[in-house]
Structure 1
Amino acid sequence: MRRFGCFGLLVAAALALAALTVFRGWIGPGPADKEIEVLVKPGSSLTSAARQLEDAGAIRSAEQFLKFAKLLGGDAPIHSGEYKVEPGMSGRALLAMLQDGKTLQRFVTVPEGMPSILVREKLMAEPLLSGTVAVPAEGSVLPDSYSYQRGETRAAVLKRMQDAMTKTLAELWSERKPGTAVSSPQEAVNLAAIVEKETGVPSERRRVASVYSNRLKMGMRLQADPTVIYPITKGKPLGRRILKSELAADNGYNTYARAGLPAGPIANPGRDSIAAVLDPEQTRYVYFVADGKGGHVFAETLDQHNANVRKWYAIRRDRGEM
């Protein structure tokens, strides 16, 4: 009986040790005491990923991790990418993260109306991207937030931005309303870029688009200030008032100097501005001016517009701006 009792104790001790080993090496808290970023390169095996995790301090032993993964982790493949290991993350949770491909998401954001010269600057300023890119064609980038991984090329991210614009423009062009003032997808981008620059109020986009659409159909000059500024700064802020000589400059973009659309886009318009020019409000407006509250007031006749301008000047005088 005593011998049997000793054997039972040994078995119990062995089971307890095995349970402790499983807890410590697989389901219990891991050794990471802070967030750790680990990059699993394309084509990496679980063995190589385990070594990276051990080197980074995310697991205690690659050998032990692999044994538990084989016994308890299933046979689903792992995914490449950059992963964020949380403090104390268990081996089991780590394997699940690798198998699910829950990579660390990094984003670069292009706001609506950003000119291409600033898109390039934004891409070049991301320190975790590699390579270089030239300034993309104006109007070729769809404003949005784009995910990327550490070490990815800037060219690859830019291509996603441009592919998104190509796809979006094709979709919106196919849904355009009859009688729109533009005759091609490129003209839609040209006009949408002006709308994007002229109003930051989402609810106004289709109304502003109606003003410029009406002017195009009537042969009136668009007289959009941003088209005067673009040839001077390539879309960056001017930082001063527009000069009379600049208003008269006939450079292909200045819509004060000639009727019709500018030679090309003056920014990268967002989806909503493109949609607005392809389905503008049905109005007879051909003028608009700031209302002093962040939006605009619209007019059908020059007399109405001049009255609105006088009100705007009075607001500016009251503010000490004139």
Structure 2
Amino acid sequence: MWKAIASNALTLFIVVLVAVAGLLAWGKRQYEGPGPLAEAICFRVDRGASFAAVSRGLETQGAISDARIFRIGADYTGKVQGLRFGSYLIQPQTSMDDIVDQLTRGGQSTCGSEINYRIGVTTADVVLRELDPGTQRYVEVVKFDPAIDNTPPEYTAAIDDPGIRFRVTLAEGTTVWQVAEALKRIDIMEGDIGALPPEGTLAPYSYEISKGSNRAELVAEMRDRQSRILNDLWAARADGLPYATPEEALIMASIVEKETGVPDERGTVASVFVNRLRTGMKLQTDPTVIYGVTKGQGVLGRGLRQSELRGATPWNTYVIDGLPPTPIANPGRASIEATLNPPTTPYIFFVADGTGGHAFAETLAEHNANVAKWRQIEAERARQPSAQPAGN
């Protein structure tokens, strides 16, 4: 009898062990295998959220099949306490194991919403956008100019969202004054900028900020970045350039930046100015004259007058020899690189060609022919009727 009882108990014990092993193997497959998610989602982890709440949220949104397995697996791997708040892009069929790793690995992803304070040459606006998980592209929610527009309620609500990200994007060709004025209007930032830094010393880039970021510290970061770019590219510059210092190269880069909006033309434009400096020819570039009129404080908004082209200012390169005393804008890395490593060309002249780019010429006769073509294009455009507003 006792032998039978012992035999049955042993059999039951083995069955239980087999069942437990099977259950563990099943759970491991559930945890490490492909998840049930059919389409990408943007999953939000609030600051201070518990792992249990996150597990339930993931199960509700269909990212995991079982919240309990998710918690047990995370606990077994020792990652329960590593949960980090933020917004996470979870791709289809992502395993529980990979989701745990994503949510505990290192902070916020690029999913969710962001507010971008964009500082451009002619405008400075604010864009609220959010990522569409399906297309992984940002969708614009609202855009406005804080200098002239009322603040949209969507923006006001967004800045109080603890998961929102903020950035300041500085475009190539802005002036230091324009940047300073735009930063003053960013309502989530604090502190005074102080004295304006020298012209041209702020690097165009997209900078991460947060609520309460200090304006002066951001400007210092912009200056530091531009200094590193200039020093690195100066060290790798071509031989025989007509610039004695990195500061002179920065001046030239700012002129190149303002002369063309076509990326592929930067090097050729730089070569024209290098050729002029080498031959002792005046630079004769309109953007420097404009800077002498505006001092970088805003956009001229009209054509130059003959009196301004002849007027004596330190920046009028139709009058002065060589480079002006300061940059005329904040040049980007590409313009600095083009200035310090321009191609070798025979060109001395260039003029707009009607396509947004320029026609380059080696001789004055070629240049005059290009100018005549451009004036014909301008005349034809002037004869075209203005577009009429659509009727209601």
TM-score range (shorter-chain normalised) is 0.7 to 0.9
Q: Using the alignment, how far apart are the partners of 2:317 and 2:339 within structure 1? A: 17
Q: Please give the residue correspondences for 1:116-155 in structure 2 after superposition, counting only pairs within 5 Å.
A: 116-127=176-187, 129-134=188-193, 135-146=196-207, 148-151=208-211, 153-155=213-215
Q: For residues 150 and 316 of structure 1, what CA distance do their matches in structure 2 show?
A: 47
Displacement of 1:309: 1.2
Structure 1 counterpart SS, 2:330: coil
Residue by residue over 1:33-71, the C-alpha shift from the partner in whole angstroms, topping out at 9 and shown as x without a partner, is x9676675xxxxxxx5649x88xx9999xxxx9998555
Higher helix share: 1
Correspondence 1:94-173 to 2 at 5 A: 96-105=101-110, 106=165, 107-127=167-187, 129-134=188-193, 135-146=196-207, 148-151=208-211, 153-155=213-215, 156-173=217-234
State the match for 2:161 in structure 1. none
Other-structure match for 1:267: 329
Q: Which moved more, 1:225-234 or 1:95-104?
A: 95-104
Structure number with the higher strand fraction is 2
RMSD (Å), alpha carbons: 4.6
Percent of matched pairs sharing the same residue: 40
Q: Judge conservation of contact 2:254–2:328 (CA < 8 Å) in 1.
A: yes
Q: Unpaired runs of 5+ in structure 1?
A: 5-28, 41-47
Q: CA deviation at 1:228?
A: 1.4
C-alpha deviation, 1:179, in angstroms: 0.8
Given the two structures, how large is their TM-score scaled by the length of structure 1? 0.72
Give the CA deviation at 1:178.
0.7
1-structure distance, mates of 2:263, 2:275: 20
Measured against aligned partners, the alpha-carbon deviations of 1:87-121 in whole angstroms (never above 9, x if no partner) come to xx999877534421141454432222222233334
Cα deviation 1:159-198 (Å, max 9, x = unaligned): 3333222221111111111111211111111101111111
How far apart in 2 are the matches of 1:310 and 1:253?
27
CA distance 1:125–1:319, shift in 2 (3 Å) = same
Which residue of 1 is the match for residue 79 of structure 2? 74
- TM-score normalised to the size of structure 2? 0.61
- 1-structure distance, mates of 2:198, 2:71: 49
CA offset at residue 142 of structure 1?
Answer: 2.0
Classify the secondary structure of the residue corresponding to 1:297. strand
Give 2:246's aligned residue.
185
State yes or no: 1:222 paired with 2:313.
no
Distance 2:220 2:83 in 1: 23
Look up the match of 1:24.
none
The residue type paired with residue 257 of structure 1 is V
1:229 touches 1:235 (CA, 8 Å); kept in 2? no
Residues 316 and 35 (structure 1 numbering): CA distance in 2 closer, same or farther, change over 3 Å?
Answer: same
Deviation at 1:124, TM superposition (A): 4.5
**1:226-248 Cα deviation digits (max 9, x unpaired):** 11112415163211111233223
1:195 aligns with 2:200: no
* SS of residue in 2 equivalent to 1:319: helix
1:312 to 374, 378, 392: 374
Change (3 A) 1:99 1:150: same
Distance 1:121 1:82, change over 3 A: farther
| Count of aligned positions | 311
Hey, what does 2:362 align to over in structure 1?
Answer: 300
Larger RCO (alpha carbons 8 Å, 6+ apart): 1
- Where 1:289 maps in the other structure, the secondary structure is strand
Aligned residue identity for 2:198: A
The Cα of 1:209 is off from its aligned counterpart by 0.6
